[in-house]
A and B are shown apart, each in its own frame.
Chain A
Amino acid sequence: MKKILFLVLALWGLAACGRPATPTGVVSSVSPAQIQRLNFDYVVGTPRISFAIFDGPDPLANVANVTVAAQLVGDENGQAVAAGTAVPYTDYEIPYWVITPPLPTPGIWGLTATITLANGQTITAPFLVEVVAQSQAIALGAAAPRSQNRTLATEPDLHKLSSGNDPNPAFYQMTIADAVQTGKPTVVAFATPGLCQTKWCTPVLDSVETVYEEVGDQANFIHVEVHDDFQNLTFVPEMAEWGLQTEPWVYVLDGNGRVAARFEGPLSPRELRLALEPLLNNVMSPWSRFTFHVSASSRRAASQVVNSLNS
């Protein structure tokens, strides 16, 4: 009898010693989702908040739907004042989501993303943004600075106008000042494609190029390389004119030279297209009743006719 009891105790002791203790006291996982904010400039109103969702080093897979609720940090009620569904953009190197919630006051806002996976599982991921009363960057609705950026006319060496390996000469044909005089929408991309070689910024100019190939000369497309010295990395004067301290930024200007949309950080072709398309229809205003139902290629052809008549 004593032998059996001894055996049980000995085995119990061995079992206790044989299992390594978990060093940090971690017992299981909750929600591994991590939110990575992709932009930093949030102004009161309906700021564009873009974010990616990660599970470890990789984007979270099989996301079916993301809703986001916002509440002001420090608010006594602690109630969400805004909620909505985030728009997914999967046509970028990293899939990302965008929300434009109504955030009426400056301060720190807490956002809770509720992520529904394809299998129906729901997980939450909170994150925070700081909303300011005014942005240093040129704001929505403001008149674009009439910048005299460098073009092939003033700098014939294309590789001094862009740090990219294979710059598209079409992006260096006109100044912003000239572009806004044409009456067409203008896309201005502030980027340094050869010097910021990460998944966050390199594909931005590719997105602009994709939309340029679709839209053609219905709109002006300008790339402003943010550095005028690729060794000392000094900013071109246009960065200060536009109040920019980071890159990349893409601005979409309407035919009157006012800011219709602005994008800080990653930008997919689809998101740029969605901002530009309404302005293209405005360009075609005499034809709008007809172009509403016709294809993009037909609109392009019609646009060429209008341009030829105007010229």
Chain B
Amino acid sequence: MKAVIGVWVVSIFCLFICTAVTHAHAELVTAVPAPGSIVTHSPAEIRLTFSEPISEDSTILLFAENFQPVTGIVAQVAETNPQMLVATMPPLTPGDYTVQWTAVSTDGHPTSGSYTFRLARFALHPTLLWQISLTLLFLGAFMILWRWNRNR
């Protein structure tokens, strides 16, 4: 019985020790604007959420087309979420943008990646498209009814 308890104690001790020192790589979980998205308004900020808490050494860089750097970006770890990196952004002009992020986990392991989003010059919003389609449909129905009523 004592041996069994001893094994349990050692196992639990090892579990705590091992999990305490295991290294981690922060991986990107969610991003706003999302990779590959087309946005119709200049985003006020970039929000990246990682799988691990990240340190203040983490960065976000933004590049316009032809790798022109966008200045005035300040990235910092969100006060309310140690896994989120937030960068405020100046107003952007339409075009394609590359977000280059580097996340440094709290144990110093860096990861880095990049993705693209587009700020559209003009985009037909799905809601607007839906409204126009329905309007045309009902206008057509109205014209048919009106002609049918006049011919009667």
Contacts and interface: CB of A to CB of B under 8 A. Distances in A.
A binds B: yes
A205 B75 CA distance: 35
B37 A34 contact: no
A210 interface: no
Nearest to A227: B21
Contact of A25 (B17, B40, B100): B40
Interface string B102-139: 00000101111111111010011111001100110011
Interface residues of B toward A: which range? 35 or more
Q: Is the interface of B mostly helix, strand, loop or mixed?
A: mixed
Nearest to A11: B138
Interface residues of A, number: 53
B52 to A, nearest CB: 10
B149 interface: yes
Given A1-B149, A34-B28, A73-B69, A8 B39 contact: no
Contacts, number: 148
Interface stretch (A12-20, A213-221, A296-304): A12-20
Interface of A: 1, 4-5, 8, 11-12, 15-16, 19-22, 24-37, 40, 54, 56-57, 71, 73-74, 78, 108, 110, 124-128, 192, 194-198, 200-201, 230-231, 233, 246
Given A126-B63, A194-B18, 10 more contacts: A8-B142, A21-B127, A24-B32, A24-B37, A25-B41, A28-B38, A30-B96, A32-B115, A128-B67, A128-B100
Interface of B: 17-18, 21-25, 27-29, 32-41, 43, 61, 63, 66-69, 96, 98, 100, 107, 109-118, 120, 123-127, 130-131, 134-135, 138-139, 141-142, 145-146, 149
